[in-house]
Amino acid sequence: MDKDKLKQLMLLDNDFLDFWDHYPVNELRFPNRKLATFSQWQNRSHAARKSILKTVMEQGAPSWKNPYFYVQDFPEPVPQFLRGDEHDQDIVQVRYNDLYQLCSRTTMELFGLEYVCDWHS
């Protein structure tokens, strides 16, 4: 993908811009870091991007770690599955790694899991 296309996509990605606002980077000294970091951001799953943003907003960005490597090395989140007896959540059955699991509708949407049916305990 060319640089102009990446720059246009970056301007439309509010989550990345929010992430970048929390990261102390001297853009005059490192003019390509933002674009390089965005290219890594694009390679991550939707769930990882949301988790990265949430972590940086809650804990702050580590000033000792280059944002490019922070995005690249951030562990891939895994869905939280439920037992089915939770009464305070909208529970659905999903297919994940060829298994049928229960999770919240929010988790299903965040991870793009295959919907099977609504769950009523």
Segments of the chain with pLDDT less than 70: 1-3, 6-7, 10-11, 121
Backbone φ and ψ for 17, nearest 5 degrees, come out as: -65, -40
**How much is the pTM?**
0.78
Residue located via tokens 């929390």:
22
Question: pLDDT tens, 27-54?
Answer: 788 888 999 999 999 999 999 999 999 9
pLDDT at 45: 94
Separation of alpha carbons 103 and 93, rounded Å: 7
- Ordered by start, the domain boundaries in the chain are 3-73, 78-121
Separation of alpha carbons 54 and 19, rounded Å: 9
